[in-house]
Amino acid sequence: MDPDTTPILHHYAGSPFAEKARLMLGFKAIGWRSVTVPSIMPKPDLVALTGGYRRTPNLQIGADVYCDSALIARVLERLQPRPSLFPPSAPLAPLLAQWADSTLFWTVIPFTLRPETLAQVMAGQPPESIKAFGADRAAMTAGFRRMGTHDAIALLPAHLAALAAQLADGRPFLFGEAASIADFSVAHCLWFIRRAPLLAVFDPHPLLKAWLERVLAIGHGVHEEMDAAQALAIAAAARSHEPAVVQPGLGWQAGQAVTVAATDYATDAVAGALVGLSADEVVLRRHDERAGTVHVHFPRQGFQIKEQAT
């Protein structure tokens, strides 16, 4: 694999959204490199690439860094159009994926991360690590109104029943014969439940259980390990970026000093010069001593652009 253009996934094993990205890479049969990042802050090597964005996963191609799994899906679709994550036969798949990445995900998290299951989810981590993880996530979601455990226990069965009903006619995937972005967005949420001893929640829905195993069996494809220093060196050595343009009429000018931040949680702002803007994506140019000149890409959905304070 060419180390300068091969996608590099910055992730850690227990991240649900990283599992979504890993499965999409496997589905696309795209060879990739794996850089393991810390599950909690500080993340100095990752921040050198992203400028402060801390969520997992991130996809790096040369000196372009793509944040958020929804945008990563679009990037993988450009790299390898077939098989498609967005088949024309499933026009509602992106909307179901958006529901899964937000409503379903934030129902699954409190359902799964209960005091009695936390040790299993954390795969035998020592108590001090579990405590640090809890403190990190509390800080990351400060101000974000999360569902309580009892609410999640009450609401999740209805979500699972609806998903099972979608599969009741025997279709192999949520929108028919072919997998789509919806399958991977739902699957990463249910994959997280499988990490805890809560599998009985699937018992009323054998078709849903079979569907989940079918999606997870797609696997992660061919990949090889890389350390963070190598990934930073690849970014610093790159001499070009994916073409980007600031489209007119969207309220911002090319080269304008702006910040981009998520609007829900982990709202750390990334500052840079605006070099790309469309209805779907925003791109900032920034410089780092170790990573060089990097273009950081964000989706428009779920992110806010602001003018940098002077």
Range of the domain at 123: 93-216
Which residue, 199, 216, 233, sits at the end of a domain? 216
Instruction: Please check the confidence at residue 210 and state whether its pLDDT lies above 80.
Output: yes
* CATH number assigned to the domain comprising residue 51: 3.40.30.110
Alpha-carbon distance 67 to 43, whole Å? 15
Portion of the chain with pLDDT greater than 70, in percent? 99
The pLDDT value given to residue 130: 82
Residues 49 and 128 in one domain: no
The pairing of strands 64-67 and 281-288 is unpaired
64 found inside a domain: yes
The pLDDT value given to residue 3: 57
User: What's the pLDDT band for 144 if we cut at 50, 70, 90?
Assistant: confident
User: What's the pLDDT band for 17 if we cut at 50, 70, 90?
Assistant: very high
Q: How many residues does the chain have?
A: 310
36 found inside a domain: yes
Q: What residues contact residue 122 under an 8 Å CB cut-off, 6+ apart?
A: 14, 129, 130, 133
Q: Mean pLDDT over all residues of the chain?
A: 95
Q: How many domains does the chain have?
A: 2
- Region for residue 213 given its phi and psi (left: phi exceeds 0; alpha: psi -120 to 50; beta: otherwise): alpha
Top-confidence residue, 10 or 114: 10
Residues 230 and 210 in one domain: no
Q: Quick check: 72 and 59 in contact, CB under 8 A?
A: yes
Angle between helices 206-216 and 181-194 (to 10 degrees): 100
Q: What tens digit of pLDDT does each residue of 146-193 get? A: 899 999 999 999 999 999 999 999 999 999 999 999 999 999 999 999
* DSSP-assigned states of every residue in the chain: --TTTS-EEEE-TT-HHHHHHHHHHHHHT--EEEEE--SSS--HHHHHHHSS---S-EEEETTEEEESHHHHHHHHHHH--SS-SS-TT-TTHHHHHHHIIIIIHHHHHHHH--TTTHHHHTTT--HHHHHHHHHHHHHHTTT--PPPHHHHHHHHHHHHHHHHHHTTT--SBTTBSS--HHHHHHHHHHHHHHTTT-GGGGTT-HHHHHHHHHHHTT---SEEE--HHHHHHHHHH--------B-TTSS--TT-EEEEEESSS----EEEEEEEE-SSEEEEEEEETTTEEEEEEEESTTEEEEEPP-
* CATH number assigned to the domain comprising residue 187: 1.20.1050.10
3 found inside a domain: no
Q: What tens digit of pLDDT does each residue of 30-80 get? A: 999 999 999 999 999 999 999 999 999 999 999 999 999 999 999 999 999
120 found inside a domain: yes
Which residue, 216, 239, 271, sits at the end of a domain? 216
Residues 65 and 99 in one domain: no
